[in-house]
Amino acid sequence: MISVRGLTKRYGNLCAVNQLSFDVARGEVVGFLGPNGAGKTTTIRMLTGALAPTEGTVHVDGHDVRVRPARVKERVGYLPEAPPLYLDMTVRQYVHYCGQLKGLKRPAEAVDKTLARLDLQGVAQRIVGRLSKGVRQRVGLAQAIVHDPRLLVLDEPSSGLDPAQRVEFRLLLKGLAAGDTTVLLSSHILSEVEAVCDRVLIVHEGRLVGEESIASLGETSSIRVQVRRPEDSLASRLAQVDGVIDVRAGGEGRFVVASSMDVRETVAEVLAPHGLLELAQHRALEERYLAATQRRGSS
Amino acid sequence: MKIWLIARAECMSLLRTPTGWLVMAGVWFICGLMWSLSVFAYAATLADQVFDPYAVERLTLVDWLLGPWWGNLSVVLVFVTPVLTMRSIAGERASGTLELLKTSPVTSLEVVLGKFFGIWAFQALILCGTLHAPIGLALLGTSAWGAVGVAYGVLWFFAGALTALGLMCSSMTRSQVLAASATFAIGLTAYLVGVFNAGDPTAWHVQLSLSTHLIDGLRGALRLSDMVYFAGVCAVCLCAAWQRLESERWA
């Protein structure tokens, strides 16, 4: 569905995106991760045709964004970090207008369907500017899906939402991802990415530094521990625990224990005589994300 | 072509917001007031010249009443057009909705032309609201419809040139205040250069002035060169706005 090859964007001397290449298959839900300034939004803007690349190519559904931008834009739904809302329109007027902009000849039916899908019928006649932030976010999502796009690109869709609104929005995303629409989700919220995506791409300083499937991440987990009285033999004793794959010592009695099963109880038993100070399970995605971005950052 | 879709949205947006209604009501109020004063002044002049039949013949409605009033209307347009155009692109850029247009299957040229025709249509509504003056005269039995048609046509083209200028300024910034200020400053300067032409009226800066190409039209004389001038200003300013939007893609 998406084929990116050697994508580069330079602003003067600053290289925001550097030789980025990746593919996304049809129907796949892919998380796009990276720290602030990593080049995620720039990449997304090039994918959606809002920005032209300095070098490289982007193909969406077989169409080159540079050669046939209109074809690509018809197929893409995009929700930027700040939803692009006309605050003086009613919700229905706004979604209708966006449908027409996206090329729908008779958008009324699509508008009704979209409003129903996002539970917006109750506010259809209300002015967008008078809605709460959570509802505005849903209205923003409505403009992105009204034309039933083949590719849905979401840039930080939950930013600024409170925890309850985030959960609600995540459920919405799950519903969308369950269809055959390809989704590219850029987010800082790793739990959200883990819950929704099939695969993640990690970018840092404009380069692709990691690529993981969520299913493979589920096979391993890691725990971070710290003891008051560490010994040289402690790492090897931890490595002998059933299910432990790898033990890394971090200094000052800190260890990271990677395992293929839940080993917290056994590890706690081993470490208790040494003055266990901390035992925390870490999400595999978070580990991979930090490893990928810090490795690149320190190199 | 999505030009008409964007034009309709732009025009409706002005009709949905207080800004559009305030501008429209303000123009109509000021023009109504000026019309009353002009009529009283014209009546007083006629009364003064009552014993001079030749002078009365020279005091035609177009030259002494409608023409100066249309001139005042053109000055009012210089003041209000920046308010109408400032939000068109700068406002969309600041609110993030320009991103929606950029990621929709719409070209930058369609966006610029759509916005232009939307605001130009709104200005046509404003001008229609000032037709009470010639209609009132016609009801009293004094009509000069040829001159009225020419004057309103020229005024509409003049408004179009100001709108294109405003769109160009709006495309250059994300600050609506800056866009409005620049439009007003450039528009007023281009207008006044022709009004205060103490020197050679054929000088290039006088020939480039907006008011120079307005005067004959407001007296009922249609000149092709004036219309070509206004169309040229529109074309240059709209091209600049279009290129500014295109350049953002390649920044």
- How confident is the prediction for chain A on average, in pLDDT? 88
pLDDT of B46 higher than 90: no
**H-type helices in chain B, by residue range?**
3-16, 18-48, 53-58, 61, 67-85, 92-95, 97-102, 108-128, 132-139, 145-171, 176-195, 204-207, 215-218, 224-249
Strand partners, A59: A3, A64
CA dist., res. A181 & res. B32, Å (int) = 58
The answer, yes or no, to whether residue B11 has pLDDT greater than 70, is yes
Tell me what pLDDT residue B199 has: 66
Given CB atoms, is A76 within the 8 Å cutoff of chain B? yes
pLDDT at A295: 61
First to last CA, chain A: 33
Return the pLDDT at A296.
Answer: 54
Tell me the C-alpha distance between B46 and B61, whole Å.
11
Q: What's the pLDDT score for residue A27? A: 87
- Does the pLDDT of residue A298 top 60, yes or no? no
Which residue of A51, A84, A100 is in closest CB contact with B100? A84
The Cα–Cα gap between A115 and A192 comes to: 24
Distances (CA, A) of A94 to A74, A79, A129, A173, B72: 18, 14, 11, 21, 38
The per-residue pLDDT for B194 is: 78
CB crowding A116-146: b at 16 or more within 10 Å, else e: ebbebeebbeebbeebeebbbbbbbbbbbbb
Q: How confident is the model at residue A109 (pLDDT cuts 50, 70, 90)?
A: very high
Q: Establish how many alpha carbons lie within 13 A of residue B219's alpha carbon, considering only the half-sphere containing its beta carbon.
A: 12
What is the DSSP track for B43-84?
A: HHHHHHTTT-HHHHHH--HIIIIIHHHHHHHHHHHHHHHHHH
A127 in contact with chain B, both atoms CB, cutoff 8 A:
no
Closest CA to A76 of A184, A200, A179, A208: A184
Asked if residue B112 lies in contact with residue B242, where contact means CB atoms within 8 angstroms, the answer is yes
Mean pLDDT in residue range A124-137: 93
Q: What are the residues whose beta carbons fall under 8 Å from the beta carbon of A241, sequence distance 6 or more?
A: A257, A259, A263, A266, A267, A270
pLDDT for residue B138: 82
Check residues B44 and B243 and name the one with the higher pLDDT.
B243
Here the tokens at position A130 are 């008078």
pLDDT confidence of residue A47:
94
Q: What is the pTM of this model?
A: 0.85
Q: In what order do the strands lie in the sheet with A151-155?
A: A76-79, A151-155, A182-186, A29-33, A199-204, A207-213
pLDDT for B59 beyond 70: no
| Alpha carbon distance A150, A48 (integer Å) | 12
Cβ atoms of A140 and A66 within 8 Å: the answer is no
Q: How far is CA A3 from its chain centroid?
A: 18
C-alpha to C-alpha distances, B237 to A87, B82, B171, B231, nearest whole angstrom: 28, 14, 10, 10
For residue A127 the two structure tokens come to 């002015």
Q: Please, which pLDDT band fits residue B180 given cuts at 50, 70 and 90?
A: very high
Predicted pLDDT at B51: 74
Interface test with A, best of B2, B12, B17, B100 (most A CBs within 10 A): B100
Residue ranges of alpha helices (H) inside A9-145 are 40-47, 69-75, 91-101, 108-117, 133-145
Q: Which residue has the tokens 């003064």?
A: B48
Instruction: Give the confidence band of A168 by pLDDT, cuts at 50, 70, 90.
Output: confident
CA angle A66, A49, B237 (to 5 degrees): 90
Find the CB nearest B99 among A69, A84, A97. A84
**Mean pLDDT confidence for A267-280:** 90
Average pLDDT estimate for B172-187: 96
Strand-pair partners of A247: A257
Helix (H/G/I), strand (E/B), else coil: A151: strand
Question: If 0-12 CB within 10 Å is exposed, 13-18 middle and 19+ buried, where does residue A250 land?
Answer: exposed
ipTM of the complex, rounded to two decimals:
0.87
pLDDT averaged over every residue in chain B:
90
Cα of A38 to nearest chain B Cα, Å: 18
- HEC letters along A187-224: CCCHHHHHHHCCEEEEEECCEEEEEEEHHHHHCCEEEE
pLDDT confidence of residue A128: 96
- pLDDT tens digits along A20-41: 999 999 989 999 998 888 899 9
User: Residue B104 is nearest to which of A11, A52, A73, comparing CB atoms?
Assistant: A73
Which member of B17, B99, B107 has the closest CB to residue A88?
B17
Which pairs with CB-CB distance under 8 Å and at least 24 residues apart come from B126-130? B126/B23, B126/B24, B126/B27, B126/B28, B126/B80, B126/B159, B127/B152, B127/B155, B127/B156, B127/B159, B129/B24, B129/B27, B129/B28, B130/B27, B130/B28, B130/B31, B130/B73
Kindly report, residue by residue over B84-122, the tens digit of the pLDDT. Answer: 999 999 999 999 999 999 999 999 999 999 999 999 999
Q: What is the pLDDT of residue A191?
A: 79
Contact B102 A100 (CB under 8 A): no
Poorest-pLDDT segment among A39-43, A151-155, B52-56, B210-214: B52-56
Q: Which whole number is the average pLDDT over A95-107?
A: 94
Distance set, CA B225 to CA A115, A230, B147, B216 (Å)? 53, 92, 17, 11
Burial class (CB in 10 A: 0-12, 13-18, 19+), B156: middle
| pLDDT tens profile B207-218 | 888 988 998 888
- Chain B residues touching residue A49 (CB < 8 angstroms): 102-103
Min distance B160 CA to chain A CA atoms (Å): 25
Confidence of residue A213 (pLDDT cuts 50, 70, 90): confident
Residue A197: per-residue pLDDT: 87
Amino acid at A147: H
pLDDT, residue A22, reads: 94
The pLDDT score that the predictor gives to residue A162 is 78
The predicted structure's pLDDT at residue A1: 87
Pairwise pLDDT comparison (B116 vs B135), residue with the higher score? B116
Q: Could you tell me if A44 lies within 8 Å of chain B, comparing CB atoms?
A: no
**A146-to-A96, A297, B177 alpha-carbon distances in Å:** 8, 40, 34
Instruction: Give contacts of A87 with chain B, Cβ < 8 Å.
Output: 95
pLDDT > 60? residue A299: no
